[in-house]
């Protein structure tokens, strides 16, 4: 496996499968109350966060604690990367003190620069390009629900954003057929989309992008959406809402998917906007399974990157 984890495409199919299998074992041990082993005793994870967080921060900190290590949270006010401290200097300093860095940043170039100058593994805990840890948790959730991933149809509806990008890449790597429904001006990044299409071809899967939500969700095993306006884009909210209104996930749209389909969301959610309350609070939703699985996949990722 790569020294760093910056993109969902950093994993080969075998590496991704092994990581999910390890996460499943760690989850089973956690639910069984088996905390006898502390492989990361004395190890520290630096959480370098330019953006606020609930799931990402707590899942990383709790995961390190459960493995015997420690998470050290550093907000934008603590570091001011690119201002008071240059990004390369942050990487070089942290590398002298900690064993792994997780960075939640605005620009993907920031996490790339951290990785370039760090001598310890760097994990992309969210950037404007990708959210690969979320995609790992999503694939573990689908694996638990359906027993396998190859051949499943996952439909993403909404903004072709960082979450969409990582789902495209990891889904294609694992043989999941990914369809995306989005407004014409909010399609996924074309270079990343081409990369996902290449991965899909290599792994007997398909990637489809359309403007029609009904076309995209027809026959889907899972329907996924995210907020219409991501952090840092708040000034675009008024412009985006009428554009995305036809892409709301509601019971009428869910009816076009398979009867066994699940609803997914990375959270936080704006009920009544990208999804109605009856869907996200209904029996098809697995959003809190996804949230829990962040803990387990991130534990598996840290252990693997550190060679345990």
Which member of 138, 226, 248, 290 is catalytic? 226
Contact 39, 64 (CB under 8 A): no
Question: Active-site residue 99, yes or no?
Answer: no
Residues 6+ apart with CB under 8 A from 55: 267, 291, 294
Beta-carbon neighbour count of residue 3 at 10 Å? 12
Helix (H, G, I), strand (E, B) or coil at 29: helix
Question: Active-site residue 134, yes or no?
Answer: yes
Question: Active-site residue 131, yes or no?
Answer: yes
Q: What's the sign of the alpha-carbon dihedral 132, 82, 73, 112? A: positive
- Vertex 114, ends 235 and 13: CA angle to 5°? 90
Which member of 104, 108, 240, 265 is catalytic? 104
Strand-pair category, 100-104 with 44-49? parallel
Question: Active-site residue 25, yes or no?
Answer: no
Question: Active-site residue 117, yes or no?
Answer: no
Question: Active-site residue 182, yes or no?
Answer: no
Residue bearing tokens 């499968």: 17
H/E run at residue 119:
none
Count the alpha carbons within 13 Å of 157 in the hemisphere toward its beta carbon: 29
Distance CA 285, CA 26 (A): 23
Which member of 57, 165, 294, 296 is catalytic? 294
Contact 158, 225 (CB under 8 A): yes
Which member of 57, 117, 131, 296 is catalytic? 131
Contact 274, 228 (CB under 8 A): yes
Catalytic residues: 104, 131, 134, 226, 266, 294
């Amino acid at each position: 496996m790569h020294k760093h984890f910056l993109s969902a495409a950093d994993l080969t199919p075998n590496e991704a499968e092994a990581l999910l299998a390890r996460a499943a074992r760690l989850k089973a041990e956690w639910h069984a109350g088996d905390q006898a082993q502390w492989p990361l005793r004395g190890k520290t994870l630096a959480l370098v966060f330019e953006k606020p967080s609930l799931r990402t921060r707590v899942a990383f900190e709790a995961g390190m604690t459960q493995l015997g290590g420690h998470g050290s949270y550093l907000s934008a006010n603590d570091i001011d990367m690119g201002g008071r401290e240059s990004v390369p200097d942050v990487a070089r300093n942290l590398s002298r003190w900690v064993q792994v860095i997780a960075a939640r940043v605005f620009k993907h170039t920031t996490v790339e620069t951290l990785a370039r100058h760090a001598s310890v593994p760097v994990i992309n805990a969210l950037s404007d390009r990708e959210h690969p840890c979320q995609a790992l948790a999503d694939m573990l959730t689908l694996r638990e629900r359906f027993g396998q991933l190859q051949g499943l149809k996952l439909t993403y509806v909404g903004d072709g954003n960082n979450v969409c990008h990582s789902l495209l890449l990891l889904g294609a790597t694992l043989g999941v057929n990914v369809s995306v429904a989005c407004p014409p001006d909010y399609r996924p990044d074309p270079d990343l989309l081409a990369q996902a299409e290449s991965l899909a071809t290599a792994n007997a899967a398909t990637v489809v992008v359309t403007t029609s939500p009904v076309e995209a969700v027809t026959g889907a095993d899972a329907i996924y959406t995210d907020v219409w306006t991501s952090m840092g884009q708040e000034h675009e909210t008024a412009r985006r809402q009428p554009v995305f209104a036809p892409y709301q996930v509601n019971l009428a749209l869910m009816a076009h998917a398979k009867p066994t389909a699940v609803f997914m969301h990375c959270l936080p959610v704006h009920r009544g906007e990208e999804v109605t309350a009856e869907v996200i609070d209904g029996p098809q939703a697995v959003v809190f399974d996804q949230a829990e699985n962040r803990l387990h996949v991130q534990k598996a990722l840290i252990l693997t990157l550190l060679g345990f």
